[in-house]
């Protein structure tokens, strides 16, 4: 499939780049979903067995069949029905699945390049796992994520977020094409092998404009030196790109490698599903038992508790209290971690401690102006504060740092467009976000209602209430961090016109 893209209906799938477009706009779809869709559209009309599909999405990993069912359901929601009715993906009972749509192969099609920033720009591609053990893939991913975080904190660099660079994992794609898609000049790529208490890392920095290698090195160290290696790689890249050594303040590092492995695995699960979030909770709790002063584990566990009551229907109390306690502890352990700062800022906004929240976000961006998730989160809070144009600018900044983001970025953008009374734009945005997170449907319903399209609005309300049967507008208003009465009234008006329960 290399070099080909597959068009069906309004969609174009590029398996090599790991992207899905709807009418030339990126669609928020997860890595597993892309792998499954690529396998299905690569053999249209054929029945693909469950084992074959699970191997495509989870190579070398034993997973329960329920994970495949969840991913297929998410793909169906995201794609919606074909123009002629029915489904793009059909189930063959007790056997597998089949893609039934008409496929057109498109060669050498490219989307418009993003402009280069006005400072050195870099993307860290997923490091290749060279270990014989597939389980070590998480270690290579963790190394990649940590290097992204470390480089993001270097003053003077523009760094693409993890979600977008991991879209290229396992893809044999030309570095110039990747740099063009992400809008950066430099790429860092490499490999890692972990075995017998040692780690071997190869890394190379590439100027994508001419394909030249600016820097390359090999590290062969004891596993206990992994964080020193990360610091050294970061320092060498910063020196190569900025012309002088300007390393950021030291980060809090775990004292237990087992705790580190658990945290790496857990942070991938938090945003997937309630079941995955419960797995993440167990991993992070174990990590903190091994290393109580591990700041990153504290902040991810705080985020997991927050996700529980905001998105997964868990009780507000004691999750709210525990999340805030953990976030405060994370900042106390490592005040120089931007992630800890913005997670605390988000939770403080939900506590309506707005001055404290604003200060935490400001400090986070002083430490790391490249924190895409922080910009997207702040956009939500800024919009509900009534500063809609500022909120729109913040979510646009998040998209530039993360061109292939998680689906909740689209929810945040659509919510801001609704607040700006740009209802047509909100509808177009929120119809991209047809994932398991059905919470976007309430804003889609409100936008349709404000346009007078009440039948469509009612249909979206029905869909939303299937996933959130206990939702009431009054409870939502009580829990969301509003601080502008006019903005609040505008959302309530749209919800009521759409028919959402009071």
Percentages helix, strand, coil for the chain, rounded to the nearest 5? 55, 15, 35
Q: State the pLDDT at residue 246.
A: 60
Query: Is 113 within a domain?
Result: no
Residue 302 shares a structural domain with residue 384: no
What is the per-residue pLDDT across 54-113, written as a single tens digit (0 to 9) for each? Answer: 888 887 667 788 889 989 998 998 898 888 788 899 999 888 999 998 888 775 444 567
Query: Is 487 within a domain?
Result: yes
What is the per-residue pLDDT across 448-461, written as a single tens digit (0 to 9) for each? Answer: 999 999 999 998 89
What is the per-residue pLDDT across 300-336, written as a single tens digit (0 to 9) for each? Answer: 999 999 887 776 667 788 889 999 999 999 999 999 9
Residue 100 shares a structural domain with residue 219: no
Q: State the pLDDT at residue 244.
A: 60
Q: Which of 218, 313, 245 is nearest to 274 (CA)?
A: 313
Greater pLDDT, 488 or 441: 488
- Please count the structural domains in the chain: 4
Q: What is the CATH number of the domain that holds 55?
A: 1.10.10.10
Query: Is 116 within a domain?
Result: no
Residue-range definition of the domain harbouring residue 284: 255-361
Q: State the pLDDT at residue 436.
A: 37
Query: Is 86 within a domain?
Result: yes
Query: Is 216 within a domain?
Result: yes
Query: Is 248 within a domain?
Result: no
Q: State the pLDDT at residue 155.
A: 83
Q: Are 368 and 338 in contact (CB under 8 A)?
A: yes
Residue 315 shares a structural domain with residue 403: no
Task: Calculate what percentage of the chain has a pLDDT beyond 90.
Answer: 49
What is the per-residue pLDDT across 330-385, written as a single tens digit (0 to 9) for each? Answer: 999 999 999 999 999 999 999 999 999 999 999 999 999 999 999 999 999 999 99
CA distance linking residue 492 with residue 501, whole number of Å: 10
C-alpha pair distances (Å), 107 with each of 14, 16, 65, 114, 370: 10, 12, 34, 21, 34
Q: State the pLDDT at residue 437.
A: 53
Q: State the pLDDT at residue 434.
A: 43
Residue 236 shares a structural domain with residue 132: yes
pLDDT class of 191 with cuts at 50, 70, 90: very high
Greater pLDDT, 173 or 55: 55
Q: Among residues 242, 276, 304, which one ends one of the domains?
A: 242
Q: Among residues 81, 107, 133, which one ends one of the domains?
A: 107
Query: Is 448 within a domain?
Result: yes
Q: Among residues 361, 382, 397, which one ends one of the domains?
A: 361
Residue 472 shares a structural domain with residue 408: yes
32: pLDDT strictly greater than 90? no
What is the per-residue pLDDT across 411-440, written as a single tens digit (0 to 9) for each? Answer: 999 999 999 999 998 998 888 644 435 678
Residue 395 shares a structural domain with residue 500: yes
Q: Are 135 and 421 in contact (CB under 8 A)?
A: no
| DSSP letter assigned to residue 168 | G
């Amino acid at each position: 499939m290399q070099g080909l893209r597959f068009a069906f209906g309004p969609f174009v799938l590029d398996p090599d780049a790991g992207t899905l477009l709807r009418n030339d706009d990126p669609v928020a779809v997860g890595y597993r979903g892309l792998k499954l869709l690529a396998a299905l559209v690569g053999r249209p009309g054929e029945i693909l067995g469950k084992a074959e599909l699970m191997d495509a999405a989870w190579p070398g990993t034993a997973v329960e069949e329920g994970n495949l069912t969840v991913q297929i359901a998410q793909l169906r929601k995201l794609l919606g029905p074909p123009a002629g009715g029915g489904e793009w993906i059909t189930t063959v009972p007790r056997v597998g699945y089949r893609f039934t749509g008409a496929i057109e192969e498109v060669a050498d099609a490219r989307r418009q390049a993003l402009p280069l920033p006005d400072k050195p720009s870099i993307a860290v591609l997923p490091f290749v796992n060279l270990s014989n053990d597939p389980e070590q893939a998480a270690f290579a991913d963790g190394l990649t994520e940590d290097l992204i975080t470390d480089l993001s904190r270097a003053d003077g660099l523009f760094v693409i977020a993890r979600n977008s660079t991991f879209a290229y994992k396992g893809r044999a794609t030309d570095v110039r094409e990747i740099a063009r898609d992400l809008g950066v000049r430099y790429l860092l790529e490499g490999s890692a092998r972990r075995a017998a208490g040692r780690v071997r890392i190869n890394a190379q920095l590439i100027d994508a404009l001419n394909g030249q290698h600016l820097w390359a090195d090999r590290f062969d160290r004891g596993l206990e030196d992994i964080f020193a290696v990360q610091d050294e790689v970061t320092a060498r890249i910063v020196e190569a790109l900025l012309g002088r050594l300007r390393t950021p303040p030291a980060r809090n590092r775990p004292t237990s490698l087992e705790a580190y492995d658990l945290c790496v695995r857990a942070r991938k699960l938090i945003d997937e599903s309630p079941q995955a979030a419960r797995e993440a909770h167990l991993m992070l709790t174990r990590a903190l038992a091994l290393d109580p002063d591990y700041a990153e584990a504290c902040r991810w566990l705080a985020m997991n508790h927050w996700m529980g009551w905001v998105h997964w229907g868990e009780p507000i109390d004691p999750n709210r209290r525990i999340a805030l306690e953990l976030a405060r502890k994370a900042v106390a352990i490592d005040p120089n971690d931007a992630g800890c700062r913005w997670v605390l800022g988000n939770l403080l906004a939900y506590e309506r401690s707005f001055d404290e929240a604003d200060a935490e976000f400001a400090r986070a961006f002083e430490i790391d102006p490249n924190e895409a998730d922080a910009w997207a989160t702040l956009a939500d809070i800024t919009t509900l504060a009534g500063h809609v144009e500022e909120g729109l600018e913040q979510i646009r900044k998040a998209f530039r740092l993360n061109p292939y983001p998680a689906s909740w970025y689209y929810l945040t953008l659509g919510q801001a467009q609704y607040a700006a009374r740009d209802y047509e734009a909100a509808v177009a945005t929120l119809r991209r976000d047809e994932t398991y997170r059905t919470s976007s449907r309430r804003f889609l319903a409100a936008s349709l209602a404000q346009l007078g399209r009440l039948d469509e609005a009612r249909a979206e309300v029905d869909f939303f209430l299937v996933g959130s049967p206990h939702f009431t507008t009054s409870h939502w208003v009580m829990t969301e961090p509003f601080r502008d009465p006019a903005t609040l009234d505008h959302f309530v008006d749209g919800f009521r016109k759409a028919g959402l329960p009071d």
